[in-house]
Amino acid sequence: MTQPAAPESAPHVELTIGPVAHGGHFVSRHEGRVVFVRHGLPGERVRARLTEHDDGARFWRADVVDVLDASSDRQDHVWDQADALVAARASIHVAGGAEFGHIRLDAQRRLKAEVFAEHLERGAGIDAAALGFAGVEAVAREDELGRFWRTRMAFAVDAGGRLSMHPHRSDELVAVTSMPLASREIQRLSPWDVDFSGFARVEIAAPAGGDEALVLLVPVEGQNDAAGVRRAARAVMAQLPLSASVAVLTQSGGSAADGRGALQRISGRTWLSESVELASGDTHDYRVTGEGFWQIHRAAPATLTEAVLGIVAPEPGQAVADLYAGAGLFTLPLAERVGAGGRVLSIEGAPGTSKDARRNLHEYRQALIAQGRVERTLRDQLQRLSGGRGTRELDAVVLDPPRAGAGKRAVELIAAAKPAKIAYVSCDPASFARDTADLRRRGYELVAARVFDLYPNTHHLETVGHFARVRP
Ligand SMILES: C[S@@+](CC[C@H](N)C(=O)[O-])C[C@H]1O[C@@H](n2cnc3c(N)ncnc32)[C@H](O)[C@@H]1O
The reported pLDDT for the residue numbered 120 is 98
How do strand 396-399 and strand 444-452 relate by DSSP bridges? unpaired
The reported pLDDT for the residue numbered 5 is 45
Pick from 274, 289, 293, 305 the residue to mutate for probing ligand 1's pocket: most ligand atoms within 8 Å of its CB: 293
Beta-carbon contacts of 321 under 8 Å, excluding residues fewer than 6 positions away, are 344, 345, 346, 347, 378, 394, 396, 397, 398, 414, 417, 419
Kindly give the distance from the C-alpha atom of residue 83 to the centroid of ligand 1, in angstroms, as a whole number.
33
**For residue 47, is pLDDT > 70?**
yes
Pick from 274, 291, 324 the residue to mutate for probing ligand 1's pocket: most ligand atoms within 8 Å of its CB: 324
- Work out which ligand 1 atom sits closest to the CA atom of 427: 1
Kindly give the distance from the C-alpha atom of residue 77 to the centroid of ligand 1, in angstroms, as a whole number.
33
- Work out which ligand 1 atom sits closest to the CA atom of 410: 19
Buried b (16+ CB within 10 A) or exposed e, 202-222: bbbbbbbbeeebbbbbbbeee
Ligand 1 pocket, CB under 6 A: 293-295, 324-326, 329-330, 347-350, 353, 373-375, 400-402
**For residue 137, is pLDDT > 70?**
yes
CATH 2.40.50 fits 152-273, yes or no: yes
The reported pLDDT for the residue numbered 360 is 98
- How far apart, in whole angstroms, are the C-alpha atoms of residue 338 and residue 468? 19
Partners of 426 in beta bridges: 463
The reported pLDDT for the residue numbered 6 is 52
- Work out which ligand 1 atom sits closest to the CA atom of 398: 6
Stretch 32-37: mean pLDDT, rounded?
A: 96
**For residue 213, is pLDDT > 60?**
yes
pLDDT-above-90 percentage for the chain: 84
Pick the CATH number of 298-469 from 3.40.50.1110, 3.40.50.300, 3.40.190.10, 3.40.50.150: 3.40.50.150
- How far apart, in whole angstroms, are the C-alpha atoms of residue 365 and residue 352? 21
The reported pLDDT for the residue numbered 8 is 60
- How far apart, in whole angstroms, are the C-alpha atoms of residue 456 and residue 453? 6
298 near 183, Cβ under 8 Å? yes
- How far apart, in whole angstroms, are the C-alpha atoms of residue 373 and residue 362? 21
Kindly give the distance from the C-alpha atom of residue 353 to the centroid of ligand 1, in angstroms, as a whole number.
9
Binding positions for S-adenosyl-L-methionine = 295, 324, 348, 400
- Kindly report the protein residue whose alpha carbon is nearest to atom 22 of ligand 1: 349
The reported pLDDT for the residue numbered 284 is 96
Stretch 416-434: mean pLDDT, rounded?
A: 98
**For residue 128, is pLDDT > 70?**
yes
pLDDT in tens, 322-364: 999 999 999 999 999 999 999 999 999 999 899 999 999 999 9
Same fold, 152-273 and 298-469: no
The reported pLDDT for the residue numbered 100 is 98
pLDDT in tens, 139-196: 988 899 999 999 999 999 999 999 999 888 788 898 999 999 999 999 999 999 999 9
- Kindly report the protein residue whose alpha carbon is nearest to atom 27 of ligand 1: 326
The reported pLDDT for the residue numbered 64 is 97
The reported pLDDT for the residue numbered 291 is 78
**For residue 226, is pLDDT > 70?**
yes
The reported pLDDT for the residue numbered 166 is 87
Stretch 119-135: mean pLDDT, rounded?
A: 96
Stretch 128-145: mean pLDDT, rounded?
A: 94
Q: What is the pTM of this model?
A: 0.95
Active-site residues: which are they? 427
The reported pLDDT for the residue numbered 172 is 86
Kindly give the distance from the C-alpha atom of residue 350 to the centroid of ligand 1, in angstroms, as a whole number.
8
Q: How confident is the model at residue 3 (pLDDT cuts 50, 70, 90)?
A: very low
- Work out which ligand 1 atom sits closest to the CA atom of 293: 27
- Work out which ligand 1 atom sits closest to the CA atom of 258: 25
CATH code at 12-74: 2.40.50.140
Q: How confident is the model at residue 255 (pLDDT cuts 50, 70, 90)?
A: low
pLDDT in tens, 285-334: 999 998 789 999 999 999 999 999 999 999 999 999 999 999 999 999 99
Kindly give the distance from the C-alpha atom of residue 348 to the centroid of ligand 1, in angstroms, as a whole number.
6
Domain extents for the chain? 12-74, 152-273, 298-469
Kindly give the distance from the C-alpha atom of residue 431 to the centroid of ligand 1, in angstroms, as a whole number.
15
Tell the burial category of 50 from Cβ atoms under 10 Å away from its Cβ (0-12, 13-18, 19+).
Answer: middle
Residue 55 burial (CB count, 10 A): 6
- Kindly report the protein residue whose alpha carbon is nearest to atom 6 of ligand 1: 325
Pick from 286, 348, 431 the residue to mutate for probing ligand 1's pocket: most ligand atoms within 8 Å of its CB: 348
Q: Name which of 200, 179, 175 is nearest 190 in CA terms.
A: 179
Beta-carbon contacts of 430 under 8 Å, excluding residues fewer than 6 positions away, are 22, 119, 123, 405
Average pLDDT, the chain: 93
pLDDT in tens, 367-404: 999 999 999 999 999 999 888 788 889 999 999 999 99
Kindly give the distance from the C-alpha atom of residue 349 to the centroid of ligand 1, in angstroms, as a whole number.
6
- How far apart, in whole angstroms, are the C-alpha atoms of residue 7 and residue 239? 35
**Check: complex ipTM more than 0.85:** yes
